[in-house]
Amino acid sequence: MVEPLTYTQTTLYQEVFVMGKGTIVLAYSGGLDTSICIPLLKERYDYDRVVTVAVHVGQRDEEIDMATKKGKKFADRHYTLDLREKFVSDHIFPAIKANGSYEGYPMGTSLARPLIAQEVVKIAKKEGATAVGHGCTGKGNDQLRFDFIIRSAGLDVVAPIRELNLTREWEIGYAKDHNIPVPVKKDKPWSIDENCWSRSIEGGKLEDPAYHPPEEIYLWTVSPDKSPDTPAKVTIEFQKGVPVTLNKKKMAGYDLIQKLNLLAGKHGIGRNDMVEDRILGLKARENYEHPAATVILAAHRDLESLVLTRQELAFKRMVDDKWSELAYKGLVYEPLYAALNAFINTTQERVNGNVDLEFFKGSVRVLGRMSPNAIYSSDLVSFDSASIDQCHAIGVSQYFGLQARLVHGLTTAKKKMK
């Protein structure tokens, strides 16, 4: 964190110097959109001070360093907050327990947005700001996720890119006029969002759903055809639904995820190329890579099948879907979200055990699973055991599907039931 002002200093500063609308706090990534927001908030919106906040949720070090340097240079005050562990424990772990996925991929961006917005709100209160700014466009999901948290805190939202209807071309020109370095290079015009759980790549030529993504968009995964010819084996241990050891080594959540990103990424695991339905209804072509998420979710689902009852599994599938919908929309203050988490946490008390996995040529396969809470009895189910009298099943069979059988052949209803 970069030397925060004390509350008294902030108040004093504002009383003495405020001419315009005072202080605004900006969620800042150092990219083109948020970079041009700094001068725009002063020139077009009449704010006196722009305070920038960059939140580290597992982006590459260069990204965070760049945001920190640019924030310090161009804003009146800058904060960089390292919230990697908090992101994992408060947002990724609940997503693992809920098998959190949207339209078939492990969601990532949507998990980080509430945390970023919450932290920016905290700084806004500390800095005596009445508004929070962000660089989201009016087309995506992030604007809604941010706005929801900011408005819930009673602060105003200022979103210059959306409100001024800006295009990328205009932004680049404006940035140049203000001596702001433009990070987008013409030959790699992707819009990237990254946290330790997921990396998303969109925009540019990828906006044509028919366009085949070039290999260069991927950083965490190798192409499955270039991956090693020998498979790798790993074991993940879960306690109460979350991973705690990797290959028997106890690891903090963030480290475990990063290690798995490397191990599984090397084997080409965790790519998605898809057309996604955004909250507004727009369809968007999205590319993702999320090796650790793919592996952990596969292992977690598998372990659940060993320890949860059929009733729990069926009901939890619906709960997981609803949880995922709320998380995708960023509606973390929706009371239902807390209620679903309470149910999910109850089920996860018994999700303890080990899952052995194999990585090979882009896929992850469960090799075996074991749990002290398994509701699996080899004695009962085995072909080789006599601990169940098979004849008892004949009684069950006489009633099994009874109503359908009656509909199917009405005459049999009158015959003696066999």
Binders of ligand ARG in range 130-159 (CB under 6 A): 141
Chosen residue from 63, 119, 171, 193 binding ligand ARG by CB under 6 A: 193
The site map against ligand ARG for 350-379 (x = CB under 6 A) is ------------------------------
Which of the stretches 8-16, 186-194, 237-245, 346-354 binds ligand ARG when contact is defined by CB under 6 A? Answer: 186-194
Alpha-carbon distance of 53 to 34, in angstroms, equals: 11
Q: Which of 35, 101, 110, 191 is labelled catalytic? A: 191
Q: Are 124 and 132 in contact (CB under 8 A)?
A: yes
Q: Which of 142, 147, 193, 320 is labelled catalytic? A: 142
Binders of ligand ARG in range 64-123 (CB under 6 A): 109-110
Q: Considering beta carbons, is residue 214 or 228 the nearer one to ligand ARG?
A: 214
Bin 268: left if φ > 0, else alpha if -120 < ψ < 50, else beta: left
Q: Are 294 and 106 in contact (CB under 8 A)?
A: yes
Q: Taking the complex as a whole, how short is the minimal distance between the CB of residue 259 and ligand ARG, in angstroms?
A: 24
* Helix orientation angle between 61-74 and 32-43, rounded to the nearest 10 degrees: 10
Per the annotation, the verdict on 33 as an active-site residue is: yes
- Asked whether position 191 contacts ligand ARG by CB under 6 A, the answer is yes
Q: Which amino acid is at 267?
A: H
Q: Considering beta carbons, is residue 88 or 217 the nearer one to ligand ARG?
A: 217
Which residues are registered as beta bridge partners of 89? none
- R_g (Cα) of the chain, nearest Å: 26
Give alpha helix (H) positions in 4-108.
7-17, 32-43, 61-74, 84-87, 93-97
- Asked whether position 202 contacts ligand ARG by CB under 6 A, the answer is yes
Strands 49-56, 77-82: pairing is parallel
Q: Are 351 and 238 in contact (CB under 8 A)?
A: yes
The helix (run of H) or strand (run of E) holding residue 368 is: strand 363-370
Per the annotation, the verdict on 110 as an active-site residue is: no
Q: Taking the complex as a whole, how short is the minimal distance between the CB of residue 337 and ligand ARG, in angstroms?
A: 17
| φ, ψ (nearest 5 deg) of residue 89 | -75, -35
- Asked whether position 200 contacts ligand ARG by CB under 6 A, the answer is yes
Q: Considering beta carbons, is residue 283 or 365 the nearer one to ligand ARG?
A: 283
Q: Considering beta carbons, is residue 141 or 324 the nearer one to ligand ARG?
A: 141
Alpha-carbon distance of 159 to 247, in angstroms, equals: 46
Per the annotation, the verdict on 48 as an active-site residue is: no
Per the annotation, the verdict on 29 as an active-site residue is: no
Binders of ligand ARG in range 270-299 (CB under 6 A): 276, 286
Give alpha helix (H) positions in 153-308.
160-163, 168-177, 253-265, 291-307
Nearest residue to ligand ARG by CB is: 109
Q: Which of 77, 84, 113, 350 is labelled catalytic? A: 113
Which residues are registered as beta bridge partners of 314? none
Which of the stretches 12-20, 124-132, 189-197, 290-298 binds ligand ARG when contact is defined by CB under 6 A? Answer: 189-197
Chain residues that interact with ligand ARG, rule: CB under 6 A: 109-110, 141, 191-193, 200, 202, 276, 286
User: What residues act catalytically?
Assistant: 33, 113, 142, 191
